[in-house]
Amino acid sequence: MVNLSLYTVRAMVIMDGDGNRLVAKYYSRGPHAQNYKTVKEQKKFESELFSKTRKSSGEVILYDSQTVLFKYVNDAYFYLIGDPEENELLLSAVLNGLVDAISILLKHSIDKRSLLDNLDMVVLALDEAVDDGIALETDPNVIASNVSKRGAETTDITLSGLNEQVFMDMYTQAKERLNIALLK
């Protein structure tokens, strides 16, 4: 009997062309909690994974008893690590949706520099696609839209608060000027 679970993703890692970590999220919930609990173990796993996949032409491998999907875009490697029994098509949909959403958010300019410059949006996109190991969204347009909305809401709230403060300052200054003019 197959043990069904919502926890489909063990980790998501983005590395540059030299195998250095740019972003990594390891999830430790679910029936098959990941084995890499310390940063040292994670980095060792990532360097071995990079060595194994940097010259590979495929997109899916079984590595260290885990299903690993990867995608190379310009000078960045995107990895999605799942359970060995997990459906590769589901994992592929999550990875492709995430990469396409990041491409939309970065205006189709995915490289190490743009990923680091827009790290906040990249991490938000990761969180929109996968939450604590559960695949939430695969549509890149929805992921990008949700990330964009978060940024827009924050900006709008700040600007509306700023506008109210400006109006209050203008009102106070006008009131003081009127009082001074009346007292003369």
Note whether residue 4 is domain-resident: no
Helix/strand/coil for 16: strand
Total domains, the chain: 1
- C-alpha 151/C-alpha 84 separation (Å) is 36
**111 against 160, higher pLDDT:** 111
157 has pLDDT over 50: no
Q: Which domain holds residue 111?
A: 9-147
Question: Which bin fits 50, alpha (ψ -120 to 50), beta or left (φ > 0)?
Answer: alpha
3 has pLDDT over 70: no
Note whether residue 130 is domain-resident: yes
Note whether residue 33 is domain-resident: yes
Count other C-beta atoms under 10 Å from residue 50's C-beta. 20
Average pLDDT over residues 1-5: 59
> pLDDT tens digit string along 12-37?
999 988 888 899 998 876 555 556 77
**176 against 82, higher pLDDT:** 82
Average pLDDT, the chain: 80
Helix/strand/coil for 12: strand
Average pLDDT over residues 145-167: 61
**179 against 43, higher pLDDT:** 43
CATH at residue 67: 3.30.450.60
Average pLDDT over residues 103-130: 87
pLDDT of res. 156: 46
- C-alpha 46/C-alpha 88 separation (Å) is 20
Note whether residue 121 is domain-resident: yes
Note whether residue 175 is domain-resident: no
> pLDDT tens digit string along 45-89?
888 888 888 877 778 888 878 888 999 888 889 999 988 888 888
136 has pLDDT over 60: yes
Contact (Cβ atoms closer than 8 angstroms) between residue 12 and residue 80:
yes
Note whether residue 169 is domain-resident: no
Most confident of the ranges 12-16, 28-32, 161-165, 171-175: 12-16
Note whether residue 173 is domain-resident: no
Note whether residue 100 is domain-resident: yes
